[in-house]
């Protein structure tokens, strides 16, 4: 498997230096998340400085942008990166799409499916292999003159991944997508019992091999060699699990292990701003389900045991935050990334 670092809220001015350090550390690539800052600009700044790495948006929001706008950005990033760019898209939740972006949300699943199909039609038009004539329920694209084309390129088959948690989205990804950005809040059992079977259902419906659909899996960790280091790492991870657990969309991930009653309790504590109460709900048992718990010397062992055969790309979740706080810490994370890559047979980039 390949091993990426995920970066969120990256300044364009730091993207190139981060990419250089990630390359020198032997990683496969960088997944840029979209939050307070756009993921696309960070991908562009990094790819121009360090074209040897793989780059993906993990994930960029689909609905606030027209598929034509997204297609144009993705086309330029694929060209700039020499074909090393993967377009990762997500629907987000209703409140953000409707109230933060003033964009349509319903119905999110069918809308995102059509978005992916529209992107592929636009890519074919960009490459000149097909006249643009896409007519869907939510999007329609029928006007495209040569003067508006970004021009043909050597890497027109841009991989499209989506974020998916529930059965409908997972089946849809199996049907029409190249891969899935698995949510950081997951367990191996949820991947095996829910994700893979639903992806296979969707792939079968489209006459595809489910193996064509790759999984990019973020990995939350609790790592440390001293009691104090492990305590601080566990608190960070508990805080993140509590935040995700408070969102109704992710309640099935808790319910899968018999923790369904915690979802409203997480929600209540988070809404009240009681972080201590929210973290206290995350038991050691729950922590072991949703994070890799290990000392530094055994972390790569635990990762390989947990994800080999499941992840095509592993995305280390907390590394960017550690790099921001303590830049030399990237060296230790890089040792883990190199070891996992070497043991699972996938070279960098």
We report the CATH number of the domain holding residue 138 as 3.20.20.30
Query: What's the pLDDT at 35?
Result: 84
* Residue % of the chain over a pLDDT of 90: 95
Count H helices, E strands: the chain?
A: 16, 13
Number of domains in the chain: 1
* 83 found inside a domain: yes
Range of the domain at 169: 2-225+291-344
* 331 found inside a domain: yes
Residue bearing the bigger pLDDT, 349 or 188: 188
* 246 found inside a domain: no
Model confidence pLDDT, tens digit, residues 82-138: 999 999 999 998 999 999 999 999 999 999 999 999 999 999 999 999 999 999 999
* 20 found inside a domain: yes
pTM for this one?
0.96
Using only the alpha carbons of the chain, give its radius of gyration: 20
Model confidence pLDDT, tens digit, residues 248-296: 889 999 999 999 999 999 999 999 999 999 999 999 999 999 999 999 9
User: What's the rounded Cα separation, in Å, for the pair 157 and 86?
Assistant: 10
Among candidate residues 49, 118, 119, 126, the one with its CA nearest the CA of residue 86: 119
Beta-carbon contacts of 1 under 8 Å, excluding residues fewer than 6 positions away, are 307, 308, 311, 312, 313, 314, 340, 341, 344, 346
* 320 found inside a domain: yes
* 263 found inside a domain: no
Query: What's the pLDDT at 146?
Result: 86
Model confidence pLDDT, tens digit, residues 23-48: 999 999 999 999 889 999 999 999 99
* 305 found inside a domain: yes
Reported confidence tier of residue 349, pLDDT bands at 50, 70, 90:
very low
* 139 found inside a domain: yes
């Amino acid at each position: 498997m390949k091993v990426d670092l995920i970066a969120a809220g990256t300044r364009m001015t730091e993207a190139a230096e981060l990419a250089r350090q990630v390359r020198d550390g032997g990683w496969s690539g960088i997944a840029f998340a979209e939050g307070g800052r756009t993921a696309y600009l960070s991908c562009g700044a990094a790819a121009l400085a360090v074209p040897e790495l793989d780059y993906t948006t993990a994930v960029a929001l689909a609905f606030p942008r027209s598929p034509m706008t997204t297609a144009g950005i993705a086309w330029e990033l694929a060209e700039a990166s020499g074909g090393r760019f993967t377009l990762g898209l997500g629907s987000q939740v209703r409140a953000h799409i409707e109230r933060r972006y003033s964009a349509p949300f319903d119905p999110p699943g069918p809308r995102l499916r059509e978005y992916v199909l529209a992107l592929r039609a636009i890519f074919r038009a960009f490459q000149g292999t097909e006249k643009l004539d896409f007519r869907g329920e939510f999007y329609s694209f029928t006007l495209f003159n040569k003067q508006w084309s970004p021009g043909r390129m050597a890497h027109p088959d841009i991989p499209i991944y989506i974020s998916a948690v529930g059965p409908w989205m997972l089946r849809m990804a199996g049907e029409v997508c190249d891969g899935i950005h698995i949510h950081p809040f997951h367990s191996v059992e949820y991947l095996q019992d829910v994700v893979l079977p639903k992806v296979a259902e969707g792939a079968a419906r489209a006459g595809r091999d489910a193996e064509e659909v790759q999984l990019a899996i973020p990995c939350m960790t609790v790592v440390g060699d001293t009691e104090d280091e492990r305590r601080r790492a566990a608190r960070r991870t508990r805080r993140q699990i509590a935040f995700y657990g408070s969102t109704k969309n992710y309640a099935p991930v808790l319910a899968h292990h018999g923790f369904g009653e915690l979802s409203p309790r997480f929600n209540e504590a988070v809404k009240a701003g009681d972080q201590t109460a929210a973290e206290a709900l995350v038991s050691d048992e729950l922590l072991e389900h949703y994070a890799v718990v290990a000392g530094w010397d055994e972390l790569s062992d635990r990762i390989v045991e947990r994800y080999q055969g499941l992840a095509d790309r592993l995305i280390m979740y907390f590394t960017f935050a550690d790099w921001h706080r303590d830049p030399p810490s990237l060296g230790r994370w890089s040792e883990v990334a190199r070891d996992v890559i070497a043991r699972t047979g996938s070279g960098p980039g």
